[in-house]
Amino acid sequence: MVNELIKWGFLIYLGITPLIPDTINSKYRIMDIYLVLLVCVYLINMLVNYERRNKLCNDLKSFFKDSIVIFMLLLIAIMGVSTIYSTDKSLAIQETIRFGTYIAILYYFISEIDIKKDLEKVVKFIYYPAFIIGVLGVIQFITGKGITRYANGVARIIVTLDNPNTLGMYFAVLLFPLVMIAFYEKRTVKKVIIGLVCLIFVLNIAFSFSRNAWFALVVGICILTIIYNWKFIIGLFIAGAGVLLYPPLSVRIVGLGKAVMNDGRLKHWGIALEMFKDKPLIGVGNGNYVTLHPEYVKLFPKFIVPGEENYPTHNSYFKILSELGILGFIPFMLLHTTIFIRSIKVCKLYSEKYKGLIKGLIVALLIFFQANLLDNMWFVPKVTFLYWIIVGILILLYRNKKAAK
């Protein structure tokens, strides 16, 4: 009974995370308090229940043997050590703890979620809130209420996700698993309903005016064309036609290449490389790129971007390279490479059931890797939270098939 209540508590946490704006959460710490209480109940249940304690020991042994987890633990150890020499130690500790929560969430997900009984619940608790946000996003674009960001004078929606780029990638990551579920769905009515939800997601990606999310959408369609059906390319042409019909979208896309070269990204990457050159082995400390950015701008005036002081790298790979050096970058890359290889293995293990979902998850992983070339999406909690849930689902599917053999 208690175990089920904790599981429902976790699912509720999964569902409400994207619905609570950071402006509210940062003030009242709602999600942090909720998560701490959930962890406390879980630990107390483990302490008072002998069977649960035994299960915990066995689960931890299995968890720590997984190559994905090994790389995560190695990475968090390097993050922890970096707090010693970081200029802003509190920020380094904060980012290290945040990554630690992803390890804890992944552990709980793998240990307590039953792939056969609970996967449908997990999917619902992810997609129902996304549908609500999607509908609100369309309404926000139409009414203009709550809009605080603009691109060339055109409103960029944010809803509860605090940033248009975050919202765009949130829906891009969620879109492709849903598209593949729709294609493998045999019931016509359900297929149509899922198709309409996908349309809402695409509209939100469009109205976010996030060029990175648009690029992810195009890349995702191209990948689906390769791994599933060439007819997906039709979707690309339809999207292109939609762009031409709505001038603000076409102007934004035409400026994509120019923006990458001129909006400061290259200069931020230049600063990251200078930090890496100074401390190639260990980096400047976890999360400390932003802290040291003003100092490096003074040393290298050619990298000045007016109005973008204390700015992020806009590239997760450069962020890790500059903050954790080679010692952190290698396990970081090995971690995500291992995740991708595992996803391919999972896809090969399944024939019909889960096949659509798995292919969609692989596309979501690939576009997430791509998105981090132009943004720090691995370090945006509401989006990276989805990433680790995807990883959890893939690990569960892999273990389920291996156990069956």
> Which residue would you say has higher pLDDT here, 307 or 342?
342
Contact assessment for residue 171 and residue 134, using Cβ atoms and an 8 Å cutoff: yes
pLDDT of residue 257 exceeding 60, the answer is no
pLDDT of residue 357 exceeding 80, the answer is yes
Spatial separation of the C-alpha atoms in residues 26 and 370, rounded to whole Å? 29
Per-residue confidence (pLDDT) for residue 265, from 0 to 100: 85
Tell me the two tokens of residue 76.
């968090």
The pLDDT > 70 percentage for the chain reads 90
DSSP conformational letter for 156: E
Per-residue confidence (pLDDT) for residue 235, from 0 to 100: 60
Contact assessment for residue 146 and residue 330, using Cβ atoms and an 8 Å cutoff: no
The pLDDT > 90 percentage for the chain reads 60
**Is the Cα dihedral 223, 208, 170, 184 positive or negative?**
negative
Spatial separation of the C-alpha atoms in residues 102 and 321, rounded to whole Å? 20
27-76 residue pLDDT tens:
778 888 898 899 899 889 888 888 888 888 888 999 999 999 999 999 99
Q: What is the mean pLDDT of residues 245-274?
A: 69
Per-residue confidence (pLDDT) for residue 248, from 0 to 100: 61
Residue 165, Cβ neighbours under 10 Å: how many?
26
Q: What is the mean pLDDT of residues 324-335?
A: 97
Q: What is the mean pLDDT of residues 168-181?
A: 94
Q: What is the mean pLDDT of residues 347-360?
A: 84
Which residues sit opposite 156 in a β-bridge? 149
182-236 residue pLDDT tens:
888 888 899 999 999 999 999 999 999 888 999 999 899 888 888 776 666 666 5
278-319 residue pLDDT tens:
999 999 999 999 999 999 999 998 888 877 777 889 999 999
CA 349 vs CA 225, 346, 401, 405: distances in Å: 21, 5, 7, 11
Spatial separation of the C-alpha atoms in residues 312 and 165, rounded to whole Å? 14
Per-residue confidence (pLDDT) for residue 299, from 0 to 100: 93
Per-residue confidence (pLDDT) for residue 277, from 0 to 100: 96
Q: Give phi and psi for 151, each to the nearest 5.
A: -130, 115
Which residues sit opposite 150 in a β-bridge? 155
Indicate the average pLDDT of the chain. 88
pLDDT of residue 256 exceeding 60, the answer is no
Q: What is the mean pLDDT of residues 116-121?
A: 90
Per-residue confidence (pLDDT) for residue 239, from 0 to 100: 60
